[in-house]
Structure 1
Amino acid sequence: MKNNLDNIFKDLEGKFDLEEPTIGHFERFQTKLNKGSDLDSNKRNNLFYFIAIAASFILFFGIWIGSSLTNSGMELAELSPEMKETQSYFVSVIEKELQAIEIERNSDTEHLIKDALLQLNKLETEYQSLTLELKESTDEKRIIFAMISNFQQRIDVLQGLLAQIEEFKQLKTQKNETYV
């Protein structure tokens, strides 16, 4: 093994590169390295500024969205414990009626349910405008009465829908009995 290494070095003797770089090579190399790092730091700084600006836009957009969503009005529940109880009652009745309607949902009743839900959405929009009005108004009693009336109208719509569905089922049953 040792002889092999000695033979390899004897064969390569005189073939090694023994020249040295020209004068100033290290300084030129160092300046090139410094220029490259300056470019990299400029690129990093530009990227950092771009990310900072994008984050600022996202932050301001989020704040704007958040403020528009929180620009809601005043609910009945915020006025007094009695109003909170009243609102809870109406909301629970509406939820029960909606659950009863969902049980009755099928291809035959779908059209009736969609129409009723459109009416409910209109009433909900009116209610939201009433909450904004309540927040800014001094005539509380009139607005509170309108809000309670809105809840009652929603319940009436849902109960009317359930009655229509029941009539539809009875008519369908009678129709099937006459053909038998």
Structure 2
Amino acid sequence: MKNTMEDFFKNNRAEFDLNEPNVGHFERFQARLEKIDETPKKKGGTPWYILAVAASVLLFFGYWMGNYNQNGVNKGIELADVSPEMEETQNFYLATIQKEVEEIRTKKTTANQKIIDDAFVQLEILETNYRKLTLELKESNADKRVIYAMITNFQNRLQILQNLMDQLEEFEALVPQENRV
């Protein structure tokens, strides 16, 4: 199609060159150009105060969504939320763990501090895993495997504390009274 139009213009060039614009064409064209130049131009853009209000609204919305996500979405389900029996189980383990931790803290000395600190690092790892399990429990709709893993997590924490108590008792038996700090 392009070639046919080019050919048409080449072949009929003489016909196009003969025609002159109507009288006054250049004056009318010049008047239109001047009329376009005379029209007042609007200031471009949005006023700054509208942009400031929009930015404030966006910042507020972002802050609200961030708090909503931290408070609502990222919380998991505890064992106590599953059933009354699981609430009893969770309360039992938490009370037992708390009792063991308090007893260990009473036996803490500078000599056995490293052993206790290492055990507490292990407990913190298990606590982090437990928080992940609460999220999984929420996502899995109280899957029994996740519940079992949560109970096993409590049992592992108790086992670490009981092993620590045994180590502390052995340590006390080995260190003579006069060498204790």
TM-score, with structure 2 as normaliser:
0.62
Aligned residue pairs total 132
CA contact (8 A) 2:82 2:142 kept: no
Percent of paired sites with the same residue: 42
Q: Does 1:64 align with 2:69?
A: no
Q: Does 1:96 align with 2:94?
A: no
What is the CA–CA distance in structure 1 between the aligned matches of 2:127 and 2:52, rounded to whole Å? 43
Question: Structure 2 regions of 5+ residues with no counterpart?
Answer: 1-48
| CA positional deviation for 1:149 | 0.6
Q: After TM superposition, list the pairs within 5 Å mapping 1:3-14 onto structure 2.
A: none
Q: Does 1:83 align with 2:86?
A: yes
Question: Which letter does structure 2 place at the counterpart of 1:144?
Answer: I
1:92 aligned counterpart, secondary structure: helix
| CA positional deviation for 1:68 | 2.3
2:77 aligned counterpart, secondary structure: coil
Which residue number in structure 2 is paired with residue 73 of structure 1? 76
Question: Which letter does structure 2 place at the counterpart of 1:167?
Answer: E
| CA positional deviation for 1:52 | 9.4
Q: Does 1:157 align with 2:160?
A: yes
Question: Which letter does structure 1 place at the counterpart of 2:154?
Answer: F
Which residue number in structure 1 is paired with residue 130 of structure 2? 127
| CA positional deviation for 1:59 | 6.5
| Cα RMSD for the two superposed structures | 2.8
Q: 1:107 aligns with which of 106, 110, 113?
A: 110
Question: Which letter does structure 1 place at the counterpart of 2:166?
Answer: A
What is the CA–CA distance in structure 1 between the aligned matches of 2:134 and 2:85, rounded to whole Å? 17
Question: Structure 1 regions of 5+ residues with no counterpart?
Answer: 1-45
What is the CA–CA distance in structure 2 between the aligned matches of 1:53 and 1:167, rounded to whole Å? 65
Question: Which letter does structure 1 place at the counterpart of 2:63?
Answer: F
- Per-residue deviation, residues 87-112 of structure 1 (Å, max 9, x unmatched): 00000000001100110112111111
What is the CA–CA distance in structure 2 between the aligned matches of 1:152 and 1:160, rounded to whole Å? 12
